[in-house]
Amino acid sequence: MNKYKIKLYGIVQGVGFRPFVKREADKIKLPGTVQNKGSYVEITAYGSIEKIRFFVDEIRENAPDRAVVIRTEIDPCDEGSASEAESLHTFSIIESEHREGEKFIPPDIGICRECAEELFDPGNRRYLHPFINCTQCGPRFTILKKLPYDRERTSMASFPMCESCEKEYYDKGSRRFDAQPVCCNDCGPEVYIIGGEKKGTEAVSETRRVIANGGIAAVKGIGGFHLVCDAENDEAVKRLRERKRRPRKPFGVMLRDIAVAKRECHLDEVRESILKGYERPIVLIKKREDTLISESVAPGNPRLGVMLPYAPLQLLLFSLNDGISGFPDALVMTSGNVSDAPICINDEEAVKELKDFADIFLSNDREILTRADDSVMDVFQGKPYMIRRSRGFAPLPLVISGEEEKRSILAVGGEMKNSFCIKSGNLLYPSAYVGDMTDHRSGLALKDGIKRMEKLLEAAPDMMIADTHPGYNSARIAEELSDKKDIPLIKLQHHYAHILSVMAENDCEGPVIGAAFDGTGYGSDGSIWGGEILLADRQGFTRLSHISPFKQPGGDASAREGWRIAVSMIHDLYPGREAEIAEKLGLCKADEAEAVSTAVDAGVGTVMSTSAGRLFDAVSAVLGICRSSSYEGEAASLLQFAAEEYAERENIDVNKVMSTHVNKNISTDILFGMVLDRALGNGDSSELAFLFHRILADFTVSEIRTQAEKNGLDTAALSGGCFQNLLFQQMVRSGLEKEGLKVLINSLIPPNDGGISVGQVYYRGSFRSDCVSP
């Protein structure tokens, strides 16, 4: 018998992996040990090489659902003998030992079916326990202090196991064998009403009573507080909107179970599978015409952001048998925060920030160490398409190949939808969603998140990367941290980072022809970019072309008020007639149009822009769909919905090309003029919304094809917030594929600014004036 060391890398902590390995070894009577090394799991096993290989194959083939084995190493040991193996007799789990190396931190896992059944079983000792969990479910990342993942290094260290829980913890036949957060009603955390006397099920029942009566509750969950109300009660939803000062941005909705999801939404197999998956993200799904959910949940939006309960407390909110009748099976479940600020994670923050929002606060004494909003996901061509990457996914790394450089890099991302990313060797670790950096509290959360992640990964970055925009708070924080750490800081162009993000996710070195379409990014020439065609690889980029430039007036206001962009573009097309046209289209009053024109001519508060996002906003305003946005992307989203409604109504093939027009620059000025003229002629707004999408997609495809031919390339990459618009994405992608091009898109990394940090750390060049600044 020979002795072997087997190393397994991947998601092998917090998923019941060591107990699983022991069971597999016992099946074939293989003696040895399994140990958590922090950065990997190590097995010492005694047997023939054939038996060892069979054992490893069985591990890879039958690994727990939540585990991911990325790499295995099998090495013979010089020492060891049959007599040594006989002295072991059995296979055992031994105490964890810390080793440096690659880190794979387990994400939080939604409640499993077995725990959900036990929760409502009166004969089970964890009956109605709000923190029931096992090796296959429960909190992980949000309660973890440092690796290896063991109880004493989590916030569950404050709750010593009772005798019964400890017995299960050491029983290899138990589902809770080696389950680090294991607890029960006798030894686990407790829920309570902040500022009240009620605890446990009485506290849950009181919260249910408030919600059933139309009130708003703040409820502490896995990664932070939610604001909760009856999604079927229009007055309750409107009250939450008024209190949160969130007039139209859609709320997330949690539904009791999959049957309710099918009742309220048009649910296909892919979306159902994602909804029921252990990550439990919010999934965007088309709502049914006869939905019971209030229109105020997602005003003017044909889709709902839907999720299923993923924590035991949420199941209790829906189904506690306490005599309260008429409790809804659909709850608004939106992040517990002030708009643009990070989600609240403790009682002090919740009471301070949410006191004007909630009628009752249901909290608990299990500490949340890392903030994690709910992840948000769409589906494109049968695959997940991430909008916000957070709980359930963060901080799972991207693995890139051919990376010999071992340096560690910290990238702080962009300003909106901020997340950061740490690169360590060939692993890229994107953080959970942080927030919008315009709020100082998000800046504090960013610095705290970086400190915590560096500790978990044992990372000591030797370089930092930030956006080139001179006004970004994220860049200011990067400057502060780089000075403190005494490491160099590179500032990388925004749209180049977008293209790098999709290259990183697809493990592509480049070069590619990249289309980066979004709302705002600081260009290398000091203007606003956002409709860019780039030649890019990991060393740098060249700006090949862009949409037609226009004058963007109004400073920050123009990002919300598409009518300003529309008036500016009308002024260029029909100088002197902008007031007349603006009034006819209902864009603004004559004096407002004249004020915009005067400012544009004088260059006051006006910048040159090639922003595709602002072009979408201007067209939305001209068509009377959305004059001003109350949240980022509203005007463009409503324009998309109008176009989709027309295509569905007219049974149009969205992949059919309508134009082969080729210009040096994407001729969006001509496109805007066409839409404007037809709108003035009382054209159908939905039809014109569709034509705008179709022709802009055709222009984009044509320009990418032309640039690919010029540069001898066959790969295109699409990224930026405009590609969250899956109608536009589908048109561009199908057009490029018809031209014989390979198309790279984001999937589990957001195409919006939430993916910027991933692109930043993927950069491998040195200083170049057109893509970075010192």
Catalytic residues: 18, 36
From CA 20, how far away is CA 61, in angstroms rounded?
12
Task: For residue 677, give every residue at least 6 positions away whose Cβ sits within 8 Å of its Cβ, in sequence order, or none.
Answer: none
Helices 200-212 and 312-319: crossing angle, nearest 10°?
60
Q: How would you classify the pairing of strands 715-719 and 512-522? A: parallel
From CA 492, how far away is CA 498, in angstroms rounded?
10
Peptide bond into 511 cis (omega under 30): yes
* Residue 139 to residues 131, 301, 305, 522, Cα–Cα distance (Å): 9, 33, 23, 39
First CA to last CA across the chain, in angstroms?
A: 60
Token output for 401: 């190949």
Angle at 75 between CA 73 and CA 79, to 5 degrees: 150
- Smallest CA-to-CA distance from 686 within 302, 361, 162, 220 is with 302
Token output for 27: 């099946």
What is the maximum span of the chain, computed from C-alpha positions, in angstroms? 97
Angle at 511 between CA 507 and CA 514, to 5 degrees: 90
| Contact call for residues 2 and 46 (beta carbons, < 8 A) | yes
Task: Kindly write down the DSSP assignment for every residue of 317-365, as one continuous string.
Answer: HHH--SS-TT--SEEEEEESSSTTSPPP-SHHHHHHHHTTT-SEEEEES
For tokens 């560690």, the residue is 408
- Other CB atoms within a 10 A radius of the CB of residue 247 amount to 13
Q: How would you classify the pairing of strands 360-364 and 191-193? A: antiparallel
Q: Which amino acid is residue 43, in one-letter code?
A: I
Q: String of b and e for 733-769 (b: at least 16 CB within 10 Å)?
A: bbbbeebebebbbbbbbbbbbbbbbbbbbbbeeeeee
Q: String of b and e for 386-418 (b: at least 16 CB within 10 Å)?
A: bbbbbbbbbbbbbbbeebeeeebbbbbbbbbbb
From CA 316, how far away is CA 172, in angstroms rounded?
29
Q: String of b and e for 578-604 (b: at least 16 CB within 10 Å)?
A: bbebbeebebbeeebbbbbbebbeeee
From CA 420, how far away is CA 644, in angstroms rounded?
34
From CA 302, how far away is CA 5, in angstroms rounded?
55
From CA 632, how far away is CA 250, in angstroms rounded?
11
| Contact call for residues 69 and 59 (beta carbons, < 8 A) | yes
Token output for 608: 């040159």
Helix, strand, coil shares, percent, the chain, to 5: 35, 20, 40
